[in-house]
Amino acid sequence: MSDATLVTAGRTLPVSRARPALIALWSAQILLGAMFLLSGGSKLAGAAAMVALFDAIGVGQWFRYVTGGIEVASAVTLFVPALAPFGAGALVVTMVGAVVTHLFIVGGSPAVPVVLLLGALAVAWARRDQLARALPQRW
């Protein structure tokens, strides 16, 4: 027997082995979403550290607003099942840019962007089937 059973109020219900994986995925999405809400929110609010970071990048403060907007919008999509793979994909691209920026422009440790990148990659990978169903098939 591949599934376990759960006895509740006199009824026997199947308990899927996929349930722990789903709980872990949702936990990761909630944690990642909260982290990006904080990060993007601080960019949009004009936190001194974020203003200084984007001054060091040298592109302009408009880029801080764009990046903050992408992070906040993508974080919200992580809480919506149908949109989660798209938000994770946008965050992957954003965090690749953040890692490259830390490595080649502003210096310092890229540890935080790397951790956020890995989290976004994990969510995108876990939801890849959902993303594949949403995209048009060419073959």
Q: How many CA atoms lie less than 13 Å away from 137 in the CB half-sphere?
A: 4
For residue 31, the one-letter residue type is: L
What pLDDT score was predicted for residue 2?
43
pTM above 0.75, yes or no: yes
pLDDT digits (tens, 9 = 90+) for 11-59: 554 555 688 888 999 999 999 999 999 999 999 999 999 999 999 999 9
CA distance 106 to 98: 10
* 74 SS3 class: helix
User: Sorting pLDDT into bands at 50, 70 and 90, what band is 135?
Assistant: confident
What is the pLDDT confidence band of residue 122, given thresholds at 50, 70 and 90? Answer: very high
Task: Quickly state the pLDDT bin for 5 (edges 50, 70, 90).
Answer: very low
What is the domain partition of the chain in residue ranges? 17-134
Q: Specify the amino acid at residue 62.
A: W
pLDDT at 95 over 50: yes
What residues form DSSP beta bridges with 14? Answer: 5
- Amino acid making up residue 97: G
When mean pLDDT is compared across 4-13, 70-79, 128-137, the lowest value belongs to 4-13
Q: What is the pLDDT of residue 10?
A: 53
Put residue 126 in one of left, alpha, beta given phi > 0 → left and psi -120 to 50 → alpha: alpha
Answer whether 54's CB lies under 8 Å from 64's CB: yes
Q: Does the pLDDT value for residue 1 go beyond 60?
A: no
For residue 64, how many other CB atoms are within 10 A of its CB? 22
CA distance 87 to 50: 22
